[in-house]
Amino acid sequence: MAQNDLFKKIIAHTKEYGYIFQSSEIYDGLAAVYDYAQYGSELKNNIKNYWWQAMVQMNENIVGIDSAIFMHPTTWKASGHVDAFNDPLIDNKDSKKRYRADVLIEEYREKIQLKIEKEVKKAAKRFGDAFNRDEFVATNSRVLGYQEKIDKLTKRFQDALEANDLDEIKQIIIDSEIACPVSGSRNWTDVRQFNLMFGTEIGSVAGESNTIYLRPETAQGIFVNYLNVQKTGRMKIPFGIAQIGKAFRNEIVARQFIFRMREFEQMEMQFFVRPGEEMKWFEYWKDLRQKWHFALGFPQKKYRMHDHDKLAHYANAATDIEFDFPFGFKELEGIHSRTDFDLSQHQEFSGKKIQYFDNELNKNYVPYVIETSVGLDRTFLSLLSNAYTEEKIEKADGTDTRVVLKIPAPLAPIKVAVMPLVKKDGLPEKAREILKRLQFDNNCQYDEKDSIGKRYRRQDAIGTPFCITIDHDSLTDNSVTIRYRDDMKQERISIDDIEKIVNEKVSMRRLLEKL
Ligand code: GAP
């Protein structure tokens, strides 16, 4: 299936089956804002639990907090967000559409990359088994020409970004003959910087001094609480503080469904270490965070690490874990070595000493920080992209297709569907009796409407790993049919064994043990 079609199907599926709705849809929606529906919110909660348990529960030196979304305005001055949390924007004068200048250039670069891939594909077809990709891209003159173009563009773009030279960024767009996708014209305005923070007023009086911001990252809520947590938790370095929460960014080019939203959730952890030991811990967290994604059991080739060429002024190393979304490899998680930048800035702006006394070294210092920051919504989208499967199934009266969400069982919104074969003869009562038992441990669903085949399809579409069917024999032999989502196999089992079979498969322990 073409990736674009896959993406459209996933979006339609999430709406049809109660995973995600457009926010305020009855008023035609609000761009780049989404609501998680009955199954979506369950899946989201399960992802949060998986992250929290992996980070907080499984690490004796990491604790979790839940800080407020509103923070003192000086926080954002100290962190650098007021002055530098900007996107370079450009408008097309004919279509009146606004774009991120850096995205226009990156998309142009990707187009050239696609031309290389096209040449490679053509050659692979021509040479068959004898084809050697490395040799081809190192020698083919057309590919070399494209590569040179990419390298020159990348260098020029990076220099312009580093020098914050907005005129040069515009010149790159003009020289590259990039046209507006809507009007097709190259009639561009100048590039200007646009701050991504949402501001609002606190109290009853409007004005500059009352402006506060909706946090653009959860990390600062951790930094300003560093001293409180370290002291009250008697934490010894190295230690971490984790947090899950909402963040807000006034994204101008908000596209790609829940990938880039204006209101989203982050799962962040700041790990405080001795200065000089940050690279060791950076590698440690890179490895562990990869494992967290891999433990979900999807193909590892869907993930790749991308080291940043250009580091933020406060970082001395940074890597993204990228995922192969239906629209290509994009950032899923960032792992950053943030030095002592944030704590030092808060120390300076607050006038409070933010230091750690290291007994072993017998000295005070501002700790260095390794940050792991993963988007909850992007993790959700990566899971759905992996889990969405269309399968042809052979039936006595021809073939049929089923859509199934192969979500890892511990994260599935509904773990078990309990179904009486018919709505009479005491089967519903028996089914509800079983349901009541299972509900103590798991989110279950009772379903008695439509044929059993239709009910199985419905559960496949929402990703329920187990269906339990109660038939007339169940009333006398204490057994039921269990049907497995992924291979559709059915087995006769004793009612007494249901909990054991289900609980073993849906336990979060299955994921945590792989870390
Ligand atoms: N504290 C570091 C920080 O905020 P970031 O790379 O800007 O770093 C971290 O964001 C993660 O948050 C990203 O890897 C991504 O998963 C998620 N994220 C960022 N902006 C987002 C948006 N507009 N919509 C959804 N997720 C977003």
Give DSSP secondary structure letters for 366-432.
Answer: PPEEEEEEEEHHHHHHHHHHHHEEEEEEEETTEEEEEEEE---GGG-S--EEEEESSSSTTHHHHHH
State the pLDDT at residue 218: 98
Which of 197, 82, 155, 173 is closest to 310 using CA atoms?
Answer: 155
Say whether 41 sits in a helix, a strand or coil.
helix
Element housing 271 (H / E)? strand 263-273
Distance 250 CA to ligand 1 centre (A): 12
- Distance, in Å, from the CA atom of 325 to the CA atom of 380, rounded to the nearest integer, reads 11
Please count the CA atoms within 13 angstroms of the CA of 463 that sit on its side-chain side: 28
Please, which residues bridge with residue 240 across strands?
A: 62, 271
Distance 237 CA to ligand 1 centre (A): 27
Please, which residues bridge with residue 365 across strands?
A: 356
Ligand 1 pocket test: pick from 224, 252, 378 the residue with the most ligand atoms within 8 Å of its Cβ.
378
Structure tokens at 358: 């290291």
Tell me if 244 sits within 8 A of 45, measured CB to CB.
no
- Distance, in Å, from the CA atom of 466 to the CA atom of 438, rounded to the nearest integer, reads 12
Tell me if 48 sits within 8 A of 267, measured CB to CB.
yes
What is the identity of the amino acid at 125? K
- What are the sequence ranges of the domains in the chain? 86-195, 408-512
- Distance, in Å, from the CA atom of 41 to the CA atom of 374, rounded to the nearest integer, reads 18
Distance 192 CA to ligand 1 centre (A): 22
State the pLDDT at residue 2: 73
Which of 100, 227, 265 is closest to 170 using CA atoms?
Answer: 100
- Distance, in Å, from the CA atom of 389 to the CA atom of 461, rounded to the nearest integer, reads 9
276 exposure class (CB count in 10 Å sphere: 0-12, 13-18, 19+): exposed
My answer on whether omega of the bond before 238 falls inside 30° of 0, hence cis, is yes
SS3 annotation, 77-146: HHHCHHHHCEEEEEEECCCCCEEEHHHHHHHHHHHHHHHHHHHHHHHHHHHHHHCCHHHHHHHCHHHHHH
Measured CA distances, 84 to 58, 67, 87, 209, 312 (Å): 36, 23, 9, 20, 11
Buried b (16+ CB within 10 A) or exposed e, 428-456: bebbeebbeebeeebbbbbbbeeebeebb
Report helix angle 376-387 to 38-52, nearest 10: 110
203 exposure class (CB count in 10 Å sphere: 0-12, 13-18, 19+): exposed
Q: CA triplet 370, 375, 378: central angle to 5 degrees?
A: 140
Question: Is 3.40.50.800 the CATH number for 408-512?
Answer: yes
Question: Is 3.30.40.230 the CATH number for 86-195?
Answer: yes
Task: Name which residue sits closest to atom 6 of ligand 1, judged by CA.
Answer: 334
Atom of ligand 1 nearest to the CA of 260: 24
State the pLDDT at residue 207: 61
Atom of ligand 1 nearest to the CA of 375: 16
Structure tokens at 489: 């196999």
Strands 444-446, 416-420: pairing kind: parallel
Q: What is the pTM assigned to this prediction?
A: 0.90
Element housing 43 (H / E)? helix 38-52
Structure tokens at 292: 């967290």
Backbone angles phi, psi at 422, to 5 degrees: -130, 165
Distance 202 CA to ligand 1 centre (A): 26
Say whether 203 sits in a helix, a strand or coil.
coil
For the chain, 515 residues long, the average pLDDT of each consecutive 10-residue run is 86 98 96 96 98 98 98 96 92 94 92 93 92 93 95 92 90 96 96 94 71 96 98 97 97 86 98 98 98 97 90 90 95 97 98 97 98 98 97 83 97 98 97 97 97 96 98 97 97 97 96 97
Helices and strands counted in the chain (H then E): 18, 23
Q: What is the number of other CB atoms lying within 10 angstroms of the CB of residue 508?
A: 16
Note every long-range contact of 62-65, with CB atoms under 8 Å and residues 24 or more positions apart, other chains counting.
62/239, 62/240, 62/241, 62/242, 62/269, 62/271, 63/229, 63/233, 63/235, 63/239, 63/240, 63/241, 63/242, 64/241, 64/242, 64/243, 64/244, 65/221, 65/222, 65/225, 65/229, 65/241, 65/242, 65/243
When computed from its CA atoms, the radius of gyration of the chain, rounded to whole angstroms, is 27
Q: CA triplet 327, 333, 334: central angle to 5 degrees?
A: 125
Pocket of ligand 1 (CB under 6 A): 217, 219, 249, 251, 260-261, 264, 266, 268, 331-334, 371, 373-375, 377-378
Task: Name which residue sits closest to atom 25 of ligand 1, judged by CA.
Answer: 260
- Distance, in Å, from the CA atom of 153 to the CA atom of 106, rounded to the nearest integer, reads 10
